[in-house]
Amino acid sequence: MTLKALAQSLGITLKYLFSKPVTVPYPDAPVALKPRFHGRHVLTRHPNGLEKCIGCSLCAAACPAYAIYVEPAENDPENPVSAGERYAKVYEINMLRCIFCGLCEEACPTGAIVLGYDFEMADYQYSDLIYGKEDMLVDVVGTKPQRREAKMTGKAVKPGYVVPYVRPELEGFKAPTEGGKK
Amino acid sequence: MNPYPLDPYWMVALKALLVVVGLLTAFAFMTLIERRLLARFQIRMGPNRVGPSGLFQPIADAIKSIFKEDLVVERADKVLFVLAPLLGVVFALLAFGAIPFGPPGSFFGFQPWVVNLDLGILYLFAVSEMAIYGIFLAGWASGSKYSLLGSLRSSASLISYELGLGIALLAPVLLVGSLNLNDIVNWQKENGWLFLYAFPAFLVYAIAALAEAARTPFDLPEAEQELVGGYHTEYSSIKWALFQMTEYIHFITASALIPTLFLGGWTMPFFNVPYLWMFLKIAFFLFLFIWIRATWFRLRYDQLLRFGWGFLFPVALVWFLITALVVALGLPRVYLVYLSGLSFLALLGATFYSPKPVRKGGGA
């Protein structure tokens, strides 16, 4: 170690003193997610409003954690819920069992189930961690605890992330993109 | 007539209280400032949760350390174990009182120092050496090997840097002809700052002051990576906080002493506002020490001893002899300024043209 190296090292640290911290102050500022992030599942719809899910249970078969339960029912031809013969009357994912591996997304023949961005799902009761259709359809914003808080405080759901990219398979899902750091 | 008038006793007591309270507050906020600055040096943010941008963190820390369980180790020497942190804090606090912050009568018509000692520097030495007893007794009384190693290190390093420190201070004392800190500051006001006359002594003193405050690169007594916590491994709760207090007060005192002795104290050639410049100089050295802590590594035990005996001591001694010659032969003091300049150029040269270190043994 030479005097020169010691002096140079002081210069290096001084340079970092005046640079911006790399810390993301997470709950205060949103996290920028990575393109392959696996978050809470989203059940997407066709552009005409019909659900993509046809209740085939292939996702449940593919699921390594046995986290998915699907109960199909016949579509009413006059007033169909999904674009196929059948639809998912009950579609539940146990978020405590789910390992967010994305195999359900790969198994789905219609691209109905897609892993989205939400990750703030910590909750107090086991039963609240079982997400039904009403918690996962595209138009739902936020996770169960987030929506509960929003309902109590009267404020809008504040997502803890921004996405600096667009995933086309998340058709119709509006994710915050502004203000995120790459 | 005494150029430094005496204050009434109640005023001295009040100022002593002010210094103690001020130092303890400064300690509390120095912990926060140091953590924030270190964080920024490491491109982190540092503590910013308690209060506006973390300003109340010291209060939270104080509450935490007071209410934590206060353990006394089974094998500890109970009396010394409790006494050691108290000794450390008391002697650390004592040193600050002799430092002048302004010209006589500038503290609301009173004197801006607690005591005006004719033996100022000697007193500082005595008091700061006593503070090592806190560290040493703490390690010894803990009855644990890591603590003992930490305190042994502190006493060994004390011997190695203290010689250089003491002899480095003899150069300004010889030039000024007084041990009184007020005299030293006034001399600098008239003749120019002492680091111009004694640059090597200034350098040695600044380095040794780092060692005295047990800061990086000389923080051997509490090397976390090697000795768990060093001399305070067995301490918890408020006693541990007292050690932190001791360390930071030493740190602040050292940052106040370097400008007082070598950089003109409260004086400034231009725009002379007494308190302002003293505080700015203290702040500068506090920042410098934190900067060094963020950058440099810790010296090995033998490296510190070699550095103390092989570099600090001879440099201080040679400079002391030169100063003594100049003073004894009655040569003009300007010679010292030239020599100081030369030594500064030599340091610059050594910095820019230092050879690559020779690696001994294998290793990458």
**In angstroms, what CA-CA distances link B106 with A107, A149, B134?**
83, 59, 35
The answer, yes or no, to whether residue A52 has pLDDT greater than 70, is yes
Q: Is the pLDDT of residue A68 over 90?
A: yes
User: How far apart, in Å, do the first and last CA atoms of chain B sit?
Assistant: 68
Q: What is the pLDDT of residue A130?
A: 92
What was the ipTM of the complex prediction?
0.73
Once rounded to an integer, what is the mean pLDDT over residues A56-65? 92
Mean pLDDT split into 10-residue runs, chain B, 364 residues: 72 86 88 89 87 87 88 83 87 84 75 80 83 82 82 79 85 86 83 83 87 76 70 83 87 88 80 80 90 85 83 89 87 81 83 70 52
What is residue B223's predicted lDDT score, i.e. its pLDDT? 66
Confidence band of A106 (pLDDT split at 50, 70, 90): very high
CA-nearest residue to A19 within chain B is: B43
Which pLDDT value is given to residue A1?
A: 60
Determine the pLDDT at residue B361. Answer: 62
Q: Per-residue pLDDT tens for B144-166?
A: 888 888 788 877 777 788 888 88
Q: Residue B263: which of B209, B318, B299, B303 has the closest Cα? A: B209
Check if the beta carbon of residue B242 is closer than 8 Å to that of residue B182. Answer: no
Residue A9 corresponds to which tokens in the numbers above?
């090292």
Nearest CA in chain A to B40: A17
Nearest to B153 by CA among B227, B85, B221, B84: B221
Specify burial of residue A71 (Cβ count, 10 A radius: 0-12, 13-18, 19+).
Answer: exposed
Determine the pLDDT at residue A180.
43
Q: Which pLDDT belongs to residue A178?
A: 63
Which positions in chain A have a beta carbon within 8 angstroms of at least one beta carbon in chain B? 1-7, 9-10, 12-14, 16-17, 19-23, 25
The Cα A167–Cα A37 span in angstroms is 11
Please give the structure tokens belonging to residue B297: 């590594």
Q: State how far the Cα of B17 lies from the Cα of B14, in Å rounded to an integer.
A: 5
| Mean per-residue pLDDT, A101-120 | 91
Residue A62 token pair: 């593919």
Report helix, strand or coil for A90. strand
Helix or strand or coil: residue B9? helix
Strand partners, A93: A68, A131
Asked if residue B131 lies in contact with residue B246, where contact means CB atoms within 8 angstroms, the answer is yes
Q: Tell me, what's the pLDDT at B312?
A: 87
State which H helix or E strand residue B339 sits in: helix B334-352
Inspect the interface and report whether the beta carbons of B291 and A4 lie closer than 8 Å.
no
Q: How far is B284 from chain A (nearest CA, A)?
A: 14
C-alpha span between B360 and B356 (Å, rounded): 12
The DSSP H or E segment spanning A162 is strand A161-162
Task: Please give the residue of chain B at the shortest CA–CA distance from A16.
Answer: B41
Sign of CA pseudo-dihedral B127, B129, B130, B135:
positive
pLDDT of residue A182: 42
Rounded CA-CA distance B59/B273 in Å is 32
* Number of A–B residue contacts, CB under 8 Å: 50
* pLDDT at B341 (0 to 100): 84
Question: Does A120 have pLDDT greater than 80?
Answer: yes
CA distances from A66 to A98, A137, B98, B132, B295 (A): 8, 20, 75, 65, 52
The residue in chain A having the minimum alpha-carbon distance to the alpha carbon of residue B294 is A13
Pairwise CA distance, residues B255 & B288, whole Å: 9
Helix and strand tally (H, E) in chain B? 14, 0
Task: Give Cα B77 distance to the centre of its chain.
Answer: 29
Residues of chain A in contact with residue B40, where contact means CB-CB under 8 angstroms, are 16-17, 21
Measure CB to CB from residue A3 to each of B39, B45, B351 and give the nearest one: B351
B176: left (phi over 0), alpha (psi -120 to 50) or beta: alpha
pTM confidence score? 0.81
CA distance A2 to A6: 6
Which residues in B lie closer than 8 A to residue A14 (C-beta atoms)? Answer: 291
List chain B residues with CB under 8 Å of A12: 295
Under the banding of pLDDT at 50, 70 and 90, the label for residue A69 is very high
Contacts of A6 in chain B (CB under 8 A): 296
Q: Do B296 and A6 touch (CB under 8 A)?
A: yes
Pairing between strand A130-131 and A113-115? unpaired
Comparing A94 with B343, the larger pLDDT belongs to A94
Contact A14 B350 (CB under 8 A): no
